Amino acid sequence: MLNFVIPFIVLILVVVFIHEYGHYYFAKRYGVGVTDFSIGFGKEIFGWKDKSGTRWKICWIPLGGYVKFFGDRNVFSQSDQEELIKKYSEEDRKKLFTLKPLYQRSLIVAAGPIANFILAIFIFLFIYMFIGKDFTPAMIDEVTKDSPAEVAGLKKNDVIIEIDGTEVKSILDVSKLITMSTSEYIDFKVSRFDQDLLLKVKPKMVLSEDNLGNKINKRIVGIKLSPYNNEINHVKLGPAQALYHSINEVYFVITASLKYLGSMFTGSGDSSQLGGPIRIAKMTGQVAEFGIIPFISMMAYISISLGLINLFPIPLLDGGHLMFYGFEKILGRPLSQKTQEGFFRIGMFLLLSLMFFATFNDLKDLGLF
């Protein structure tokens, strides 16, 4: 159990700290008072107060965190603003988040998710510069008889160039792109005798195991791959190239995640793969056993997911606040307190539903259902 719990706590502490520090950094930059910087929820385990009056603390429930601003309140209306002006002195008003210009409030809120994306970019940058990135072309070594690949016309020695319009830069990309595909047919662009062919493959869904031994529904096309000319091309990149590929990887994960979530809403995606804290903890522990590089790679992917989810236009999330600021910009005033409270109730319902569904999948994964 400790093999899962400790790596999970380390991962969450780092990812959450970076997210909250994004909020904190821009808040301090624009003169907003910060009363609390908390990693975790619930009762404080330990903490300290810095010279500016911010209480830095670690709490018992390590599933998130928060930065609390001076005079902060969840729901904010024009009448609240007038009350705040009367309640605080002129000096204290300068520290109030709610009285800052709209663009400053928006940047402070958006800075958390952006910090998560930057963390992922730095992790990939480190890996590509000091460990290297694989650029081995993917050649089909074997096509399983009567498989979707054979039916579609894929053949031995075909070199895979693209999958669903995304360039295959490495043999490692093939499995990832097949897994992330949500369409009924997967488009394979292959090179055969110096001729490019586009073939449509209809994958089969089979209950299988991933590399960590977890049971998953896997899309199978029926091919085995080998390096082109049996040569592995693993390259340590320079800073500029590494940065380009790091940004590209973050962009790919974001777009693929949005595509996957969209497919779940339309009913074409596999919702059983959506997991919560239990599954993340289990996978984190399993990945950590393979070493530091797989562990920090997973940290990068979790960081991207946290940043992306927080940008969803759901009240209680950063994206919900940005949505309110969008209305404020259009209307020239904040939404009324009653309207915002209505949105918050909807947001709470959506988040609780998502947590329930993800936790149910986790427990099912553990064989408890």
pLDDT one-digit tens code per residue, 266-282: 666 555 555 555 555 55
- Domain spanning 134-235, CATH architecture: Roll (2.30)
Instruction: Give me 22's structure tokens.
Output: 């994004």
pLDDT score at 366:
47
51 Cβ neighbours under 8 A, 6+ residues apart: none
SS3 344: helix
What pLDDT is attached to residue 183? 81
Is 20 annotated as catalytic?
A: yes
- Res 258: pLDDT: 84
Please state the pTM of the whole predicted model.
0.85
Position 194 scores a pLDDT of 85
Q: What pLDDT score does 75 carry?
A: 45
Exposure letters 202-236 (e unless 16+ CB within 10 A, then b): ebeeeeeeeeeeeebebbebbbebebbeeeeeeee
Which residues does residue 159 pair with via DSSP β-bridges, in sequence order?
Answer: 139, 191
Q: What integer pLDDT is reported at residue 112 of this predicted model?
A: 96
Contacts of 181 (CB under 8 A, 6+ apart): 163, 164, 203, 219
SS3 93: helix
Predicted pLDDT at 1: 54
Per-residue pLDDT, 369: 45
Positions in the chain short of pLDDT 50: 74-79, 366, 368-369
- Catalytic hit among 20, 82, 83, 209: 20
C-beta of residue 245 within 8 angstroms of C-beta of residue 159: no
DSSP letter string, 280-312: HHHHHHHHHTT-HHHHHHHHHHHHHHHHHHHTS
Residue limits of CATH 2.30.42.10 in the chain? 134-235
- Check: CB of residue 49 under 8 Å from CB of residue 56: yes
